[in-house]
């Protein structure tokens, strides 16, 4: 069944959109990532104009994250205090990010920057996670006790300490604020929730337990993407409600299923799967930049250089 999208001004298959929403929703629930880094390129691929894809995706992430966070709240795996600190950083970062985005747009090359951001961040994070999880799995195979995380590093020397009971941490608020800020900037530039950066940062940098990481990142993502959606809707008029509804119907159902799958898998397995996925997307985008494109020319609306 074809459906015409009023803002995107293209006609697409409704079931295709529902299916895409569902698959990305499952991943979102499993890993606590918004799924934007997968969905946004997929939407480009089926012919949605990039500006509309990015803005609408932010709206869709709100829905799937909200659905996911409710499931996590029920299991008490959301550190609300940590989430709020991350969120404050995130909102400031998103504001900066939009300004940076508009500045780069005036210079041209914004597409290139977005793609390079994807390749670099996905590559580094995916690689690190993959190696780490592989080592962790090897250790459990040998029945050796899991390596103790460095409990005392430079992070513990910073001021403004705060107790995060759910995470079992007593650390300074500065690192989570900075993590939130960076994720906010990247979220605005790359048009994603930023979970794929925040989740590893929370695990490896802040030392949070994997169980609470997913719920807490979803909590932060909801507010940052809601803010981004409003910014796009009021400045660029690129949020397509019809597209968002179709994606989110699939997405919210998928997120519920994903959350349940996530609880059945071990933390190491979960991480290695996420790492593989991140690497696949990264490789795909890198090929785009390295191989000669079949069409060298591209059309865009005038004025936006």
Partner 1 sequence: MLRVLFALLVLLAAPVHAQEDVVLGMSQNRVAITANFDGSEILIFGAVKRESEIQQDPPLEVLVTVSGPLQPVTVRRKEKKLGIWVNADSVEVDAAPSFYAVATSGPFGDVLTDVEDLRHRVSIPRAIRSVGAPMGVEDAQSFAKAVIRIRTDNGLYQMLENSVAVDEQTLFRTSVAMPANLTEGDYITRVLLTRGGEVVSSYETSIDVRKVGLERWLFNLSRQKPLLYGLLSLAIAIAAGWGASAAFRFVRQGG
- Phi, psi (rounded to 5 degrees) for 77: -115, 30
* Contact range with partner 1 by CB under 8 A, out of 97-105, 131-139, 174-182, 288-296: 288-296
Here the tokens at position 118 are 């994807």
Q: Does 252 bind partner 1 (CB under 8 A)?
A: yes
Q: Does 151 bind partner 1 (CB under 8 A)?
A: no
Here the tokens at position 135 are 């080592």
Q: Does 226 bind partner 1 (CB under 8 A)?
A: yes
Residues 59 and 244: beta-carbon distance below 8 Å: yes
Looking at beta carbons only, is 1 or 144 nearer to partner 1?
1
Give me the long-range contacts of 139-145 (CB less than 8 A, separation at least 24): 140/268
Looking at beta carbons only, is 208 or 222 nearer to partner 1?
222
Q: How far is the CB of 234 from partner 1 (least distance, A)?
A: 4
Q: How far apart are CA 179 and CA 101, in angstroms?
A: 19
**Mask for 2-21, x = binds partner 1 (CB under 8 A):** xxx-xx-xxx----------
Q: How far apart are CA 26 and CA 80, in angstroms?
A: 23
Neighbours of 53 (CB within 10 A): 25
Which of 20, 38, 39, 71 touches partner 1 by CB under 8 A?
71
246 SS3 class:
helix
- Helix (H), strand (E) at residue 9: none
Nearest to residue 218, comparing CAs of 30, 1, 22, 14?
30
Q: How far is the CB of 69 from partner 1 (least distance, A)?
A: 8
Looking at beta carbons only, is 172 or 256 nearer to partner 1?
256
Q: Does 75 bind partner 1 (CB under 8 A)?
A: no
Site residues (vs partner 1, CB under 8 A): 1-4, 6-7, 9-11, 47, 59-60, 62-68, 70-71, 74, 108-109, 111-112, 226, 229-230, 232-235, 237, 239, 241-242, 244-245, 248-249, 252-253, 255-256, 288-293, 295-305
């Amino acid at each position: 069944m074809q459906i015409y999208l009023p803002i995107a001004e293209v006609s697409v298959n409704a079931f295709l959109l529902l299916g895409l929403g569902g698959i990305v929703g499952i991943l979102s629930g499993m890993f606590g990532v918004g799924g934007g880094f997968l969905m946004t390129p997929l939407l480009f691929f089926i012919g949605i104009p990039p500006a509309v894809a990015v803005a609408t995706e932010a709206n869709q992430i709100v829905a799937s994250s909200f659905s996911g966070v409710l499931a996590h709240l029920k299991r008490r795996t959301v550190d609300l205090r940590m989430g709020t600190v991350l969120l404050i950083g995130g909102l400031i970062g998103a504001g900066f990010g939009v300004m940076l985005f508009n500045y780069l747009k005036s210079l041209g090359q914004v597409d290139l920057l977005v793609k390079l951001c994807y390749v670099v961040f996905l590559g580094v994070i995916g690689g690190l996670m993959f190696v780490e999880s592989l080592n962790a799995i090897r250790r459990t195979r040998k029945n050796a006790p899991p390596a103790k995380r460095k409990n005392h590093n430079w992070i513990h020397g910073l001021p403004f300490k705060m107790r995060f009971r759910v995470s079992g941490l007593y650390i300074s608020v500065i690192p989570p604020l900075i993590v939130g800020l960076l994720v906010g900037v990247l979220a605005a530039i790359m048009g994603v929730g930023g979970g794929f950066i925040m989740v590893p940062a929370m695990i490896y940098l802040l030392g949070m337990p994997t169980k609470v990481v997913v719920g807490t990142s979803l909590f932060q993502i909801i507010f940052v993407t809601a803010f981004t959606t409003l910014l796009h809707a009021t400045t660029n008029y690129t949020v397509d409600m019809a597209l968002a509804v179709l994606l989110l119907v699939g997405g919210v159902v998928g997120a519920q299923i994903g959350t349940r799958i996530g609880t059945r898998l071990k933390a190491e397995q979960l991480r290695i799967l996420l790492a593989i996925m991140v690497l696949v997307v990264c490789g795909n985008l890198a090929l785009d930049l390295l191989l000669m494109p079949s069409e060298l020319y591209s059309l865009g609306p005038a004025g936006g250089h």
